[in-house]
Structures are given as C-alpha cells and as structure tokens.
Structure 1
Amino acid sequence: MSIPRPFRKTSPRDHARKDWLDERRREARIVIADVAHHSDYLVRLACNVLATHGETFEEREDARILLVILDGKTPGRLPAPDRAGRS
C-alpha cells in the first residue's frame, strides 16, 4: 500500500491503481476460497498476491502459511541434487 502524502492530491491514476489492486485481491481471495478446484500454480500466485498486498496482517500471514504448505506438497520444486547424487 502506498503511504498517503498530504502534499500531493490524489489523481485519477491513484484511484485506478487502487481499484486494480482491489480487484486482484478479490480474485486471489476467490482462488484461495476454492483451493481444491484450482491448480497449485494459480493458488501459489494468489498466495503471493495476498502475502504482498493483503489488507490485514492475518490475511498476509495465512497466505504465507499456505505457501509453505504448497512447498511441502510439491517436492519437485526442491533444488536438484548435484551430479554425484548428493543434495
């Protein structure tokens, strides 16, 4: 979120940015609410949006926790072992 600046009037561009961000948060919440019917990729994207731009601390923290769960669920995302077979 941007910090309000008392020396600067809000422009139509500021309102458009806020509206755009509100819409992305709404879409991310819809994906998270129906997580069973969306791909891990889309859920991960929604979590990143909410972890970065969530309105409350709880919302941001819940998104971060869900990202940790997704990382544990998808072992293919771990770093590849080196050529000798050691990780």
Structure 2
Amino acid sequence: MSIPLPFRKSSARDRARQDWIDERRREARMVVADVAHHSDYLVRLACKVLVQHGETFEEREDARILLVVLDAKTPGRLPAPDREGRS
C-alpha cells in the first residue's frame, strides 16, 4: 500500500499503478499458497513480488525465508566447483 505524498495530488496514473501492483500481489499470494503445484521459478518470482510489495512485515519476511529455502534446495544456483571439487 502506498502512502500519498502531501504535496502531490493523486492521479489516475498513480491509481492504475497501484491497481496493477495489487493484482500482482494477489497473484503472488495464490502461487505461494499452492507452492506444491508451481515450479520453483514461479514460486521464486512470486516471493520476490511479496518481498518488494508485501503489505506487512510478516508477509515480506515469510517470502524472504521461502526464497532462502528455495535457494538451498536448488543446486544449479550454487557456484561451480573448481578442479579439485571444492566450491
């Protein structure tokens, strides 16, 4: 939720932007709520939306934690090992 600035009138463009963000937030919540039926890529994208635009601190923090879990389970996102097999 954005806070209107006192020195600036709200315009139709601002309202349209906020409506767009609200719709993306709603879609992200649906993906996270049904995480077992969505790809890691889509869940990661939804979490990034919620980390950036979540309405509460708890929502943003939960999305951030889920991102950490996804990163931990996806070995392809880790640095490649060197010649001796170390990362």
TM-score normalized by the length of structure 1: 0.92
Which stretch has the larger CA shift, 53-62 or 69-78?
69-78
- Kindly, what percent of the aligned residue pairs are identical? 84
| Alignment partners' CA distance in 1, 2:62 and 2:12 | 32
Task: Encode CA deviations 1:53-76: one digit per residue, 9 max, x unaligned.
Answer: 100000000000000110111111
TM-score normalized by the length of structure 2: 0.92
RMSD of aligned alpha carbons: 1.3
Q: What runs of 5+ residues in structure 1 fail to find an aligned partner?
A: none
Q: Which residue of 2 aligns with 1:42?
A: 42
Paired letter, 1:6: P
Alignment of 1:72-83 (within 5 A): 72-83=72-83
| Alignment partners' CA distance in 2, 1:80 and 1:3 | 44
Alignment of 1:44-83 (within 5 A): 44-83=44-83
How many residues are paired up? 87
Q: Which of structure 1's runs of 4+ aligned residues deviate more than 6 A? A: none
Report the Cα offset of residue 86 of structure 1. 3.1
Say which SS state the counterpart of residue 58 (structure 1) adopts. helix
Report the Cα offset of residue 37 of structure 1. 0.4
Report the Cα offset of residue 9 of structure 1. 0.6
Q: What runs of 5+ residues in structure 2 fail to find an aligned partner?
A: none
